Amino acid sequence: MSKQQTLGSFFSSA
Amino acid sequence: MLEGKFDEASLLKKVIDAMKDSVKLCNFNCTENGISVQAIDDSRVLLISLLIEAGSFEDYRCDRNIVLGLEMESLNKIIKNGNASDMLTLVAEDSPDALNLIFEDKRRDRIAEYSLKLMDIDQDFLKIEDMKFDAVVNMPSAEFAKICRDMKTLSESLQIIITKDSVKFNSEGDFGSGSVVIKSFTDLEKTEESVRITLEKPINLTFGAKYLNDIIKSTPLASQVTIKLCDKQPALFEYQLPSGYLRFYLAPKFED
């Protein structure tokens, strides 16, 4: 089952 | 002081219309180069990056950097009061409490002026490095919008599969499934109808249909959309403005 990823897993907070 | 005059209110109307259902509060950062926004939706799946360069305005000046914290629904209410063909001027002082919006009818002497209260918005900012993409698709934005709408009737997920010279949009639902395949195509007379696929590696990615159907609210902004994809990375959907862009970064779905 595919899971919706969030952007926090790919981009870091500035 | 900020003073930005659009020849037509339609550009900002379309931009706000494209953003307002995804993000509620936005900081509009005004500099001498133009106005930019980065905003993330509540579920942190979709990021909007807007740049309206000074060149998109008829006249533009911004002496000092100003942040305008705006509630999108309120801004939209005011923006809707102006006619698309009106000239629209945005005015804000250096440390503003409000954004003034002035709509001027070009044919008649009618001037409508609104003031929108600003908010202090504490927004976190994501650093987006230069991303590398394995596939880039340029296609008519209206066609992309129709595919996203049609496929959403079947499933809450939309799979995008790219091989050599075709893009397949695939939807597997409870009651049935559907797919649309589009191929590279060059229309020399109507270049906006063309489909261009640049591929380094084949792509098979799945996205939430709900988010794609928010992104396609940008369709009136540009005749073409650019879709940039990389395996297991957020996709980039870009609509060009006369000078600037509206971009959406969308996190994919995959098995952990």
Q: What is the pLDDT of residues B156-165, one digit of tens each?
A: 999 999 998 8
The per-residue pLDDT for B107 is 86
Cβ distance A3 to B254 under 8 Å?
A: yes
* B12/B84 Cα distance (integer angstroms): 9
Q: Which residues of B touch A5 (CB under 8 A)?
A: 45, 251-254
Q: Give CA B175 to chain center in angstroms.
A: 32
Report chain A's C-alpha Rg in angstroms.
9
Q: Pull the structure tokens for residue B22.
A: 């995804």
Name the pLDDT band for A14 (thresholds 50, 70, 90): confident
Q: Within chain B, which residues score under 70 in pLDDT?
A: none
B123 Cα to chain A: minimum distance (Å): 11
8 Å CB contact of B44 and A6:
yes
* B11/B221 Cα distance (integer angstroms): 7
Q: Are strands B235-241 and B177-183 parallel, antiparallel or unpaired?
A: unpaired
Q: Which residues of A touch B44 (CB under 8 A)?
A: 6-8
* B182/B198 Cα distance (integer angstroms): 14
A7 Cα to chain B: minimum distance (Å): 5
Instruction: State pLDDT tens for residues B209-249.
Output: 999 999 999 999 999 999 999 999 999 999 999 999 999 99
8 Å CB contact of A7 and B234:
yes
Residue B192: which of B237, B142, B242 has the closest Cα? B142
A14 Cα to chain B: minimum distance (Å): 5
Instruction: State pLDDT tens for residues B1-10.
Output: 999 999 999 9
Q: Which of B44, B208, B253 sits opposite A7 (nearest CB)?
A: B44
Q: Which of A5, A8, A12 sits opposite B254 (nearest CB)?
A: A5
Would you call B243 an interface residue with chain A, using a CB distance cutoff of 8 Å? Answer: no
Q: Are strands B98-104 and B203-208 parallel, antiparallel or unpaired?
A: unpaired
The per-residue pLDDT for B77 is 97
**What is the CA angle B132-B138-B143, rounded to 5?**
135
8 Å CB contact of B254 and A2:
yes
* B201/B157 Cα distance (integer angstroms): 22
Instruction: Quote ipTM for the complex.
Output: 0.96
* B143/B69 Cα distance (integer angstroms): 34
* B202/B164 Cα distance (integer angstroms): 7
A8 Cα to chain B: minimum distance (Å): 7
Is the predicted pLDDT of residue A1 greater than 80, yes or no? no
8 Å CB contact of B253 and A12:
no
